[in-house]
Amino acid sequence: MTDQPQPLHMDFHLLDRQIVDRAGLMVGNVDDIELDVGDDGVPYVVALLSGQEALGLRMGGRIGSLLARVARRLRQADEPPLRIPYDMVARVGTDVVLSVHRELLPEPGLERWLRENLIGHIPGARDEGQ
């Protein structure tokens, strides 16, 4: 069972909150939420959506759709935006903590592209705790 505030207010406790993995590394923000309605008619959270595309679509308007369009350009066609099943959420506190390491999740396209084409080529990019 997930450790979370009772009752959980989606807009107050979940949306826009930082997601970290079990080691404390940052995964992204909760940019949108996927809901479903159970047999008892009560809606429940199925998954957290993260990434600029999800954010842009949620924000809407001119700026939102621009953000979503740019984000869609930046990812490869075959990789979907980051979707984290709610089963992976271990705890909802001042941040949303996952029960897995972030390596298990698809990596955001922009992060990978910048690492492979720019940051990773600079000497010292691997040194931790700098």
Which residues form the interface with another protein (CB under 8 A)?
12-13, 15-19, 25-29, 31, 50, 52, 55, 58-59, 61, 63, 94-95, 108, 110-112, 114-115, 118-120, 122, 124-130
- Measured distance between the N- and C-terminal CA atoms of the chain, rounded to whole angstroms: 37
Q: What is the 3-state secondary structure (H, E, C) of 79-117?
A: CCCEEEEHHHEEEECCCEEECCCHHHCCCCHHHHHHHHH
At its nearest, how many Å lie between another protein and the CB of residue 40? Answer: 28
At its nearest, how many Å lie between another protein and the CB of residue 19? Answer: 7
At its nearest, how many Å lie between another protein and the CB of residue 100? Answer: 16
Structure tokens at 110: 């922009």
Beta sheet of 32-37, edge-to-edge order: 32-37, 43-50, 82-85
At its nearest, how many Å lie between another protein and the CB of residue 39? Answer: 32
Which of 24/40 has CB closer to another protein? 24
Residues paired with 35 in a beta bridge: 45
Which of 9/42 has CB closer to another protein? 9
Report how far residue 63's alpha carbon sits from residue 33's, in angstroms, rounded to the nearest whole number. Answer: 20
Helix (H, G, I), strand (E, B) or coil at 6: coil
